[in-house]
Structure 1
């Protein structure tokens, strides 16, 4: 099964397994940001725990998945042709990311929800993760934009030396180690915020996904050997869950080694979901989460607009002394509904039409699968 060749336009074949992972990530982000109505209920607290605890971890999952998918697009070409068409890649990424993103910025300019000096220049130049933005959720998009420039340039340099796949993996792993060391020093120096959002401290979350893509496309026997070890994958995913529950409470530890642990665990989660979620793939819950994942980018961009209506509902529920648990359920459901509807509408109205234009002007190259080491032999 190819995970990288599917278009994002409506009707094109998609990997529901990867959409399921996107859905899990965006649900974690929404749940973390959404405002809650106090109930005092232990049952509600238990339901809210995964929603209110792992918003940043949802972003980390997006990073690793993006590295796997975007790295896969480049490494597939590298494996088949021994070269990288960086210009074509960047142009296609622009059509995918920028239209919906700049519509969001235009909306905030016209609506006046934030003073212009709190977001405009930062967001237009994709430097909001360094200089801050009142459209707070967009910091992660800056990290990904920087990654989209860094990775093809790195692979072009490696391609000039006809680099073997093991060397590519060694270079990527070395960069991850350097990022971990630099991030650990930043955390130790009290730069907690910088360690969480600056590109040079977060790039490794994406690069671990790229390394997984390198195995998938360039060392398929190694990938298959890992994928066949179901028990190991389960143990790694279980270790990830334990870290999320207990390790993330120690913020300095989580922001240093923790991001690395998460990236490795998310790689295992991706492989496990792709290879072993078949028995539940047709369940209504799985498909519903996968459907949400299809619109995850639009939802991520626009979900903060659900917060103001939620605050209004919370004030009204408090003033009317409504029963706490039903009020909580209604307010949370309203936020999810608003965010998902906004994401659905904007994706259909903006993202999908621009993807059709992109595929007409710069169609994806269709080539018979050729998963092999670019040198023709396994080092």
Structure 2
């Protein structure tokens, strides 16, 4: 039986995207009092929140990719793995290519196709762009990181299916991953912190590559083990949605405060906490929130449509989640355009508010257009048979090494 409740995962995706946009807009107003409540300055709450949004994206991506395998949408054989890769390609690559072409067309004068430009575009096309070469739409680095995880996701599932099927084993695996990530971040911090250009080193060695974000993806992926175990047991109590919202608010406030103190101000205690620990802490908080919303919720939802919106107007929030990818790839270009517009206001706070509103409205409209014109038509190709059944049966044999041995009766 299906229900018509709000899909919180789409809302969470929209919130994460909003945090990224908010962070980039506030970056245009450095050292300004942008958020004041009863005479107290709370600008720190909206300044360094783009990192939180990106980490939410990574945890949510890990969870959804794992959910696709654990719920048997994708099988752990060669046919299922290729179908998974095909679906990910159709979901990301068409709009991704269009955004690269549009960016090059808009910035053809200020971004000439010299050796560095060609190198950046080549890295983008082959999903190996990690910020070392400059490109106007710099947020596209996350797509390369996401695709790296997509390549690993089926094999993580095969490993988890054999060695970490229980909650205890999943905890051990998560602890091992976070320990390795923490050791890596501490090593990078101790090795490069006192060198010139440390923030750039942090971006290139921790924040951007998959090697510095693996814990966020894996935590989300392993969350499926705990949710499946919880749902398969006969429990009369389930965590409430209010608990999940509370966990999210606490995680957001903590991340924003530590980010402001550690990244912008460079305070001694908050600096190491931000660079070495914050991502894992936020990832755990987001996983706890997702558990509160997904545990005990096994019913499938009615697809989003005009009829579903009439029955439940709250689902209008899901529209922003549907067009999130477009908002993410277009917002920086719209922000560059907004910077050239003079808004007739006298205060910095008003200019900030108008610019943020302008970017959100124009980007959302553009994203809805490109979703209908580009993303949705390509998503319909998911049902295509791209791999011959006979060949898949022949090539599935090598994957059987990951299958668990059957127990003798």
TM, length-normalised to structure 1: 0.77
Q: Does 1:144 align with 2:131?
A: no
User: Which consecutive residues of structure 2, in runs of 5 or more, have no partner in the other structure?
Assistant: 193-200, 262-269, 298-308, 388-403
CA separation of 1:169 and 1:275: change in aligned 2, threshold 3 A: closer
1:330 matched to which residue of 2?
354
* 8 Å Cα contact 2:239-2:293 kept in structure 1: no
Higher mean C-alpha deviation, range 321-330 or range 36-45: 36-45
1:366 matched to which residue of 2?
none
CA separation of 1:243 and 1:89: change in aligned 2, threshold 3 A: same
2:111 matched to which residue of 1?
114
CA separation of 1:15 and 1:206: change in aligned 2, threshold 3 A: farther
Counterpart of 2:251 (choices 240, 257, 260) is 240
Q: Alpha-carbon deviations, 1:299-338, whole Å to 9, x = none?
A: 101111112222112xx34xx6746554443322111112
1:224 Cα deviation (Å)? 6.6
Q: Which residues in structure 2 correspond to 1:88-167 (within 5 Å)?
A: 88-111=83-106, 112=108, 114-116=111-113, 117-118=116-117, 119-129=120-130, 131-134=132-135, 135-157=137-159, 162-163=162-163, 165-166=165-166, 167=169
CA RMSD after TM alignment? 3.8
Q: Does 1:180 align with 2:191?
A: no
1:294 Cα deviation (Å)? 1.3
2:219 matched to which residue of 1?
208
Q: Alpha-carbon deviations, 1:77-100, whole Å to 9, x = none?
A: 29x966572111111111111111
CA separation of 1:224 and 1:200: change in aligned 2, threshold 3 A: farther
Mapped partners of 1:222, 1:244: distance in 2: 34
* 8 Å Cα contact 1:165-1:218 kept in structure 2: no
Mapped partners of 1:376, 1:236: distance in 2: 41
How many residues of Structure 1 are paired with residues of Structure 2 in the alignment?
347
Mapped partners of 1:192, 1:224: distance in 2: 44
Mapped partners of 2:68, 2:21: distance in 1: 28
DSSP 3-state at the match of 1:156:
helix
Counterpart of 1:253 (choices 273, 276, 285) is 273
Q: Which residues in structure 2 correspond to 1:176-325 (within 5 Å)?
A: 176-190=178-192, 191-193=201-203, 194-217=205-228, 220-221=231-232, 227-228=238-239, 233=244, 236-237=247-248, 239-248=250-259, 249=261, 250-274=270-294, 287-313=315-341, 316-317=342-343, 322=346
Mapped partners of 2:379, 2:315: distance in 1: 23
DSSP 3-state at the match of 1:129:
coil
Mapped partners of 2:84, 2:368: distance in 1: 26
Mapped partners of 1:49, 1:274: distance in 2: 31
CA separation of 1:361 and 1:355: change in aligned 2, threshold 3 A: farther
1:75 Cα deviation (Å)? 2.1
Higher mean C-alpha deviation, range 106-115 or range 133-142: 106-115
DSSP 3-state at the match of 1:66:
helix
Structure with higher Rg: it is 2
1:8 matched to which residue of 2?
none
Mapped partners of 1:176, 1:323: distance in 2: 45
TM, length-normalised to structure 2: 0.72
CA separation of 1:43 and 1:163: change in aligned 2, threshold 3 A: closer
CA separation of 1:218 and 1:142: change in aligned 2, threshold 3 A: farther
* 8 Å Cα contact 2:241-2:293 kept in structure 1: no
* 8 Å Cα contact 1:302-1:343 kept in structure 2: yes
Mapped partners of 1:46, 1:175: distance in 2: 38
2:370 matched to which residue of 1?
346
User: Which consecutive residues of structure 1, in runs of 5 or more, have no partner in the other structure?
Assistant: 4-12, 364-373
Q: Alpha-carbon deviations, 1:147-188, whole Å to 9, x = none?
A: 0011212333565xx445024553354233222221221122
